[in-house]
Amino acid sequence: MEKGIELARGKTKILSELSGQPEVAVVTQLDVISAGNGVRRDTLPGKARLAALTTSRVFRLLNLCGLPTHYVRGGEDDDANEMLVRRCTMIPVEVVVRGVAAGSLVKRRPGIAPGMLLVPRLVEFFLKDDAANDPLIDADMLVAQHLASADEVNAMVEIARLAFEILAHAWRRRDVLLVDVKFEFGRIASGEGKGSLVIADVIDNDSWRIWPGGREDLMLDKQFYRNLPSVTPEGLAAVLERYEQVAEHVGSFPVMRGAMVAAMCDVLAPEQAVENLARAVGQFGIPITRHLTSLTRVPGQLLALVQQLEVSFGRVQFVGIGDQALADVLHFASAMPTAHLSSSATPQECEALALSIAKNFGIDDTVLYGRTLLAQGNGRASVLAADASANAPERQARLSIPAV
């Protein structure tokens, strides 16, 4: 990428302009590893490539799930350790989400046992201030000091929690426990979406704690480097080996597994039901294949179709559209999940069915798991927004009893 002037330099990366494109910037990772606010710092050849791969795949996963991030593209092997991002005004805080007690939390709170599961997840803010060693800061103080608005603080907590659950799911599928992770947020500086909040900076193997099989002694993240009693060439080689393993795992994070909804429609059922279902599952990015059938006129065709679809797709969800009897036959004929949709189903009923289909696929598919979490979050937000507008002063005035 044709870089312009340097905009900022961190301990392990550089942010530069992209010539002639003011809305984007280039993040270049460096072959550097550091800890303890830069007190320990080493060159680690190969780390930049692994960090670029890791952060870009993590961002791609979060983007695919529908979370807002600054990532645009890049970070692959032939991208010179560079990724393209939207330019942001950064909010100077680190947002740490913890699912398991470790690190500074257990030092600060001796009453919390290391390794304790944290439910609900704990979200903490740390002010980015090297001189003061990034102190913990209250959400209210962020607002009082005009570092973020109250709405932004709430959004950071919500988005960080969702991102944590998505990453925890991806790691769980690889039998690795995500202990905690640090995010940073920015506001899009210009152009489309100006002012909106996005996850920014990088999310790589320096940003989290990850324990294979839930075992701290097998840790794969930067804590291994922090814990080295002294830095030796062998120690650094062991660090790099862990970063390589992590980049390899994360490489497959943004992959959606093949999934298909097979709509088996009674030939007499109106087309509207299948259209509504197609739209609802389409919101999750799940493809649908439609087949017309009749239990009474062509029962053999229905069974043959079921067999054919089962062998064609590894993961298929059948939906019988029409009489309950059609769904009952599917239920007993197929080893795959089946559901019934009445031919008079409303769009809301189709959306509810699509959500439960996405949930089933999401058990072993992080992209669909993330999209499910997001759909549920948006559902909650729309109810709260409707409630807020129902209680808005002008509406209250309209609802109040007129004076006589």
Q: Site residues (CB under 6 A) for ligand 5GP?
A: 94, 96, 103-105, 180-182, 206-209, 222
* In the complex, minimum distance from the CB of residue 279 to ligand 5GP, in angstroms, rounded to a whole number: 40
CB 3 to ligand 5GP: min, Å: 23
**What is the closest distance, in whole angstroms, from the C-beta atom of residue 77 to ligand 5GP in the complex?**
22
Residues 6+ apart with CB under 8 A from 28: 3, 13, 14, 15, 16, 48, 80, 81, 82
Compute the least distance from the CB of residue 52 to ligand 5GP, in Å.
Answer: 14
Whole-number minimum distance, CB 73 to ligand 5GP, in Å?
A: 22
Rank residues 26 and 181 by Cβ distance to ligand 5GP and give the closer one: 181
**Angle formed at CA 133 by CA 127 and CA 135, multiple of 5 degrees:** 40
Whichever of 211 and 361 has its CB closer to ligand 5GP, that residue is 211
How far is CA 298 from its chain centroid?
44
* CB within 8 Å of 358: residues ≥ 6 apart: 281, 284, 286, 368, 371, 372, 375
Residue 27 token pair: 């993040």
- Least distance (Å) between residue 355 CB and ligand 5GP: 32
Q: How far is the CB of 230 from ligand 5GP (least distance, A)?
A: 21
Q: Minimum distance from CB of 403 to ligand 5GP (Å)? A: 58
Nearer to ligand 5GP, 205 or 276 (CB): 205
Question: Nearest approach, Cβ of 402 to ligand 5GP (angstroms)?
Answer: 57
C-alpha span between 23 and 371 (Å, rounded): 27
Give me the amino acid identity at 307: Q
Residue 104 or 289: which CB sits closer to ligand 5GP? 104
Spell out the SS3 assignment of the chain. Answer: CCEEEEEEECCCEEEEEECCEEEEEEEEECCEEEECCCCEEEECCCHHHHHHHHHHHHHHHHHHHCCCECEEEECCHHHCCEEEEECEEECCEEEEEEEECCHHHHHHCCCCCCCCEEEEEEEEEEECCHHHCCCEECHHHHHHCCCCCHHHHHHHHHHHHHHHHHHHHHHHCCCEEEEEEEEEEEEECCCCCCCCEEEECCCCCCCEEEEECCCHHHCCCCHHHHHCCCCCHHHHHHHHHHHHHHHHHHHCCCCCCCCEEEEEEECCCCHHHHHHHHHHHHCCCCCEEEEEECCCCCHHHHHHHHHHHHHHCCCEEEEEECCHHHHHHHHHHCCCCEEEECCCCCHHHHHHHHHHHHHHHHCCCHHHHHHHHHHHHHHHHHHHHHHHHHCCHHHHHHHCCCCC
Residue with smaller CB distance to ligand 5GP, 105 or 309? 105
* Closest-approach residue to ligand 5GP (CB): 103
Q: Please identify, using beta-carbon distances, which residue of 182 and 249 lies nearer to ligand 5GP.
A: 182
Residue 171 or 284: the one with the smaller Cβ distance to ligand 5GP is: 171
Select 48 or 260, whichever has its Cβ closest to ligand 5GP. 48
Q: CB-wise, 187 or 209, nearer to ligand 5GP? A: 209
185 or 318: CB nearest ligand 5GP: 185
What is the smallest separation between the CB atom of 252 and ligand 5GP, expressed in angstroms? 22
